[in-house]
Structure 1
Amino acid sequence: MHALSFSTLTTCCLLNLLFWSASSALPGAELIATEWNQLRGPNGQGHPTQESNVPLEWSETENVAWKVPVPGLGWSSPVLSDGKIWLTSAVEEGQVLKAYSFDVESGDLLQEIDVFRPEEPVTVNDQNSHASPTPVVEPGFVYVHFGTMGTACVNSDNGEIVWKHEKLKLEHKEGPGSSPVLFDNLLLINCDGMDVQYVVALDKQTGDIVWKTERSGPFRDRPDFKKAYSTPTVHQVNDRWQVISTGADQIEAYDAYTGEEIWRVIYNGFSNVPLVLVDGTTAYVCTGFTKSELWAIDLTGEGDVTESHVRWKFKRQVPQISSPILVDGRLYFCSDKGVGCCIDASTGEAIWQDRLGGNFSSSPIYVNSHLLFNNHEGKTLVVAPADELNIVRTNSLDGIIKATPAPIPGGLIIRTNSHLYRISK
């Protein structure tokens, strides 16, 4: 439980109201979120809510304000709140799971917090880590998730652990991947293992379960085809807040406050990672392994709407790990093996398809009127939206990039396998 006074809780609630975007969280909020608070920023769409003035050219010796080492290994993406950059990492081969904060101006390590010490760290895929889920932050608190190994709320001022929840058990097989998101007083998490598949809402103040809804299925018999690693998205449709959640062989929308299923669409795919994009009454979802497709789904239905509410399907070079991005009515994405695509979001028709090169896990973001695609080889391809692939610059850093960068006022935060960078003019 929070060891907080009533006045402190009231202050936190008021700060929350100011912090959240009207399109992504608290109903009735009028101010726009200005900080990169979760995976892919406000509501996971890959766009900062205000101009971040990111330089488009950098290297190890150019436009790097600071570079600092990050202990351990983790593929969680950096997030920002109150002048602190937060991320998670695992040391001692997953035996210690940590949260770190760094000063956004200097890069100084401010806090190193031991969150969990699992007796038996889970097995992870060679391409994954024990600390891949991205934290979510709000003024005063950071929420970290390590899959079946535990979820926690940390006081971001003093580093004290407010609560821990260690009962969301599932068999990941490949290690944790789903990141938590905040909505109102709820922390929302996808839990899709080989053994159990459900979506859960925790009370963000106590860690107690508010609702837990099992996926309706159907599932295939093979356990490996039942798991997923996706992150939910919250979106308002017809005055109702939907938790849109991708799982193996299906995507569902749930009532954000009750967990009641609103609609579902059935497809063929598992081990899903990409976030769902939302725009008005349309969701864009990648269907997962082994042959990923990109589907556009009308969000206004109820029940099983597989036959009635799928607007179009695109079947070429759709990513299995990174997420698409929507810019000016077009969807841009890159396959895991480096083939980029641009398609018309209203029709699903291809505009261009071309090779970017490299291997991709990081999701693209949109800053300074350009798309940034980051690959495992440490390169960032700066792409101008156009009717054909237009790479205006290729930037290189030492190390591997799998985490998604975080735009900040005046720059960009990039995490590699070993370091954290602030890119600034």
Structure 2
Amino acid sequence: MKQVLALCLFLCLTVSAQAQNWPSFRGPNASGVAEGKQAMPVKWDAAKSENVAWKTPIPGLSHASPVVWGDKVFVITAISSDAGNLTFKAKDRGIGLARDDVKHTWRMYCLDKRTGKILWERTAHEGVPRAKRHVKASQANSTPATDGQHVVALMGSEGLFAYDTHGKLLWKQDLGVLNPGLADDPSSEWGHSSSPIIYRGLVIVQADGHKQSFIAAYNVKDGKQVWRTERGELPTWSPPTLYEGKTRTELISNGGRFIRGYDPLTGKELWRFNDHDREVKMPAPVVGHDLIFITGGYPPGSPAYAFRPGANGDISLKEGQESNQFLAYRLDRGSSYTGTPLIYGDIMYICGDNGVLSAYQAKTGERIYQERLPSTFSASPVAADGKIYLASEDGEVFVVRAAPKYQLLGTSSMGEALMATPAISDGLLIVRGQNHVYGIAERAAAKSQR
């Protein structure tokens, strides 16, 4: 009990007006990196509550990650009215669909970052889902986004909802049916998962499904559509990412037909790169070292790309080319299938669904090492304090040292499947499991505050 009290005290002391925010999928601009001086945990025991600051049960099923602003954590979920017959297979490798033809309730929760206490919960929508899902997916896959005043959640085909941070519904938008699946099988619906982002007062959504394919921006204050650009893309699950350069900002979207850059304020396409109808694009683009990194596609291990910003028009490779003015390099193999890569320091880390962790020099693509973790992964890696956190479908979190030489620092079991990417804020690792959200913190840091 004393340890818990000390830990709560530590967390209270570290939360301030300058709290470390994690505003959208994988934190600031999908980087997956939290910079700061707080010590991060290496090992913990969820069953014994060792190094566990708090544990909060959340009903339903959702693979959306937590987001953080100040001392508040926001999560969403979809609750089936027939939970006893809910189909969910965390490690499924097939293409089977779940039967969700019963009433669901889509809900947002706000938690206190220091204690895990539920501050408020709101029901966004109730009804039978408008689209099917994969047996390892959920009806609430997209991570919310916040700018500290608004919290926006894309509840799949049920719509886009915006609340203030106190739980007041500000607006909602019906975006139609969002049903990505196998490109050549219209009956295949795996569940929308592309997460929204907020940029300069705009909520930007990428939605590539069977029925429609577009990228669009909505006013964060009232939900009115500002622009919409049709894409004509294969079904994708990837969220967009921003590259903010010295002369312009580019909105980067991953796609099977084309990888593209847009003007985020107008939706005008700036450039495109032909990826030759590569299906099942899931990872988000990431930026670092003045490069734009793109991975993903079927089969696993497809090419990965590093682009230079500033392009205009079609920058596709011509026959016989391996690179050009705007393609810095290409890795012929080793791309992640589901998880988004991590650029931490000078190294790019890619974790495959099968647990193969590869490290590359981010600027050149030279491989540094390749090791295998003993699990499978849907969540993306995140990092802080020189440590990389990888949450597995088997319910274990692996902690790897961020360094040119591979070193596994610790492995901790959560006791439930982990499909969502963790969040990090002020030394707190926030892990979203199948049934609970956890706050994990280094006990040594708590002792130092006594």
Q: TM-score range by the shorter chain?
A: 0.7 to 0.9
* 1:11-22 pair list within 5 angstroms: none
Deviation, 1:190, is 0.5
In the other structure, the counterpart of 1:83 is 71
Structure 1 residues 130, 120: CA separation in 2 closer, same or farther (over 3 Å shift)?
A: closer
In the other structure, the counterpart of 1:67 is 55
* 1:377-416 pair list within 5 angstroms: 377-416=394-433
In the other structure, the counterpart of 1:246 is 254
Deviations 1:45-98 (A, max 9, x none): 011143343211111221011112111110100111231111110012562111
Number of residue pairs matched? 386
Point out where structure 2 has 5 or more consecutive residues left out of the alignment. Answer: 1-16, 81-99, 181-188, 318-323, 444-450
In the other structure, the counterpart of 1:365 is 382
Deviation, 1:170, is 3.3
The answer to whether the aligner puts 1:232 opposite 2:267 as a matched pair is no
Structure 1 residues 229, 354: CA separation in 2 closer, same or farther (over 3 Å shift)?
A: same
Separation in structure 1 between the aligned mates of residue 427 and residue 235 of structure 2, nearest angstrom: 39
In the other structure, the counterpart of 2:10 is none
Contact 1:136–1:180 (CA under 8 A) maintained in structure 2: yes
Letter in 1 for 2:70: D
Deviation, 1:380, is 1.3
Q: Secondary structure at the match of 2:157?
A: helix
Structure 1 ranges of 4+ moved more than 4 A:
none
Q: Secondary structure at the match of 1:43?
A: helix
* 1:248-327 pair list within 5 angstroms: 248-268=256-276, 269-291=278-300, 292-307=302-317, 308=324, 309-327=326-344
Please give the TM-score of this superposition, normalised by the length of structure 1: 0.87
Deviations 1:303-329 (A, max 9, x none): 111223222221333211111111222
In the other structure, the counterpart of 1:22 is none
Deviation, 1:350, is 1.2
Give the aligned CA root-mean-square deviation in angstroms. 1.8
In the other structure, the counterpart of 1:23 is none
Letter in 2 for 1:184: R
Separation in structure 1 between the aligned mates of residue 384 and residue 176 of structure 2, nearest angstrom: 36
* 1:18-417 pair list within 5 angstroms: 34-60=20-46, 61=48, 62-92=50-80, 95-157=104-166, 159-172=167-180, 173-215=189-231, 226-268=234-276, 269-291=278-300, 292-307=302-317, 308=324, 309-417=326-434
Separation in structure 2 between the aligned mates of residue 241 and residue 132 of structure 1, nearest angstrom: 27
Separation in structure 2 between the aligned mates of residue 413 and residue 287 of structure 1, nearest angstrom: 26
In the other structure, the counterpart of 1:10 is none
Letter in 1 for 2:239: T
Deviation, 1:32, is 8.7
Q: Higher relative contact order at CA 8 Å, sep ≥6: structure 1 or structure 2? A: 2
Contact 2:150–2:220 (CA under 8 A) maintained in structure 1: no
Letter in 2 for 1:267: D
Deviations 1:284-316 (A, max 9, x none): 001412243211111121111122322222133
Q: Secondary structure at the match of 2:254?
A: strand
Contact 2:400–2:406 (CA under 8 A) maintained in structure 1: yes
Separation in structure 1 between the aligned mates of residue 306 and residue 268 of structure 2, nearest angstrom: 22
Deviates more, 1:187-196 or 1:92-101: 92-101
Separation in structure 2 between the aligned mates of residue 169 and residue 214 of structure 1, nearest angstrom: 15
Deviations 1:136-182 (A, max 9, x none): 1122321000222200101221x221100003433321111000000
